[in-house]
Amino acid sequence: MTTKGVTPEVEAAFASVLDLFEQGADVRQQYSVLRGMASLYLFRAQLDETARLAREILALGDAERDPDMLIDGHLLVGATKSTVDDLEGGLDHFDQAIALFPARPGTAQTVRVGNDPRVSTLTTSAITLWLMGFPDLAADRANAALALATRLDHPFTSAYALFHAGLLRFWRRDPDIALDLAIRLLELSDEHGFRIWTAAGGCLLGAVQVELGRSAEGLANVRSGVDLYQELRSPPIFWPFLLFLDAGASGRAGRPADGLRAVDAAIEILGAGSGTTVLPELHILKGDLLGALPPDEGGGASSAEPWYRLAFDRAGELNARMSMLRAATRSGRLRLADGEPEAAAAILGPVYASFTEGFATADLRDAEALLATVVPGHDRDERG
């Protein structure tokens, strides 16, 4: 699964282990099988099955007072919660897992082929914190994941950390840092034959290059990454994120129609029930792409605004404040362009006032600049 994806051979191997497991196994073997099956279901985006097995692992860890089992259980329960519709609940499980780190040795779990769960906990909680509106705390968690992966000296864990930390930095609009992480990921993946991470890293690298103005080179790298990923029996859970990178790169490179095809495919996948907490970000991107199209092709501000509103409303239900802020900033610009500064302030002001950190990040700077335009005397230190 690490090198070739979720192939029929992988599924057959898990099935044979499951047969042995059902014939009787000790506690450690039960844990190993449950963890392996949970990973398979998670990679397939079968989150109900993942959550069921995660609860079993957590119960087993409580009974055995085993930190390995508890970290895995909290990670998997937290991942399913934060991915579907409960960011706060997911973060609580991540924090419980992190509190158990000192009980674990500083080395990687040598029997594990995939990534170390402590690094996964840090990167997944980083993305959760970003969505919840804590971009600086998110960056701290991602940095901790990279540092831990380096200490563990476990190549697959490092690849996992580099991709997810790079994706976070891309979302934070830190392109120079994201570029360095993507390059390091590709170098590591090429060295160890991690084709899945070569594909994902190519998409990330290309999206960052487009962001930095290297559109032709960037689009070529995105396309190569997408093509390679489709050749593999790759974990479906990563596919919407690669489509997101593809769509955004197409839009920034002046090809919004191409981007719409990719983002619509991603929305269809996530709208089916898995990954709904990031769905508002896809709605925002669709609004951006429609806004870049001329009205005679179905685009323009009037086509973009409903998607920003949908993103804002859905993000509000999830308490995903960063997505709320990004959607509100875009809606506010449209209201200001229509000569409605009060409406712009009404939608953006309360969201911005709820933030307690991250004011140097690009999205909060954009929001502050817009509020300074529509609210006379607006000052960041007087919010709320």
**Looking at residue 228, which CATH number applies to its domain?**
1.25.40.10
According to DSSP, residue 297 is labeled: G
Burial (CB count within 10 angstroms: exposed 0-12, middle 13-18, buried 19+), residue 142: buried
63 falls within a domain: yes
Rounded Cα distance between 98 and 121, Å, is 7
Q: What is the pLDDT of residues 287-345, one digit of tens each?
A: 999 999 999 999 999 999 999 999 999 999 999 999 999 999 999 999 999 999 999 99
Q: Are 205 and 242 in contact (CB under 8 A)?
A: no
**Are 314 and 218 contained in the same domain?**
yes
**Are 188 and 153 contained in the same domain?**
yes
Amino acid at 330: R
Query: What local confidence, expressed as pLDDT, does residue 46 receive?
Result: 76
113 falls within a domain: no
**Are 172 and 69 contained in the same domain?**
no
**Are 25 and 64 contained in the same domain?**
yes
**Are 218 and 86 contained in the same domain?**
no
The CA-to-CA distance between both ends of the chain, in Å, stands at: 50
Query: What local confidence, expressed as pLDDT, does residue 232 receive?
Result: 77
Rounded Cα distance between 112 and 42, Å, is 16
Neighbours of 85 (CB within 10 A): 14
112 falls within a domain: no
Query: What local confidence, expressed as pLDDT, does residue 38 receive?
Result: 80
Cα distances from 50 to residues 40, 214, 331, in angstroms, run 8, 40, 37
**Are 12 and 124 contained in the same domain?**
no
**Are 90 and 134 contained in the same domain?**
no
**Are 25 and 126 contained in the same domain?**
no
341 falls within a domain: yes
Looking at 73, 104, 135, which one is the last position of a domain? 104
Rounded Cα distance between 357 and 289, Å, is 29
Q: Give the chain's radius of gyration (CA, Å).
A: 21
Neighbours of 161 (CB within 10 A): 29
114 falls within a domain: no
**Are 91 and 130 contained in the same domain?**
no
Q: Which residue ranges of the chain lie beneath pLDDT 50?
A: 110-111, 382-384
110 falls within a domain: no
Residue with tokens 């085993």: 66
In DSSP notation, 224-278 reads: HHHHHHHHTB--GGGHHHHHHHHHHHHHHTT-HHHHHHHHHHHHHHHTTTSSGGG
Domain total in the chain: 2
- Helix runs in the chain, H state only: 8-22, 27-43, 47-64, 67-84, 87-99, 117-132, 135-152, 155-171, 175-192, 195-211, 215-231, 239-252, 256-270, 279-292, 301-318, 321-337, 341-353, 362-374
233, β-bridge pairs: 5
Query: What local confidence, expressed as pLDDT, does residue 24 receive?
Result: 55
Q: What is the pLDDT of residues 5-39, one digit of tens each?
A: 666 777 777 767 766 665 555 556 777 777 877 87
6: phi > 0 → left, psi -120 to 50 → alpha, else beta; which?
Answer: beta
**Are 80 and 141 contained in the same domain?**
no
**Are 97 and 136 contained in the same domain?**
no
Rounded Cα distance between 256 and 20, Å, is 52
**Are 100 and 197 contained in the same domain?**
no
Looking at 79, 104, 129, which one is the last position of a domain? 104
109 falls within a domain: no
Amino acid at 354: S
Q: Are 370 and 348 in contact (CB under 8 A)?
A: yes
Domain span including residue 24: 1-104
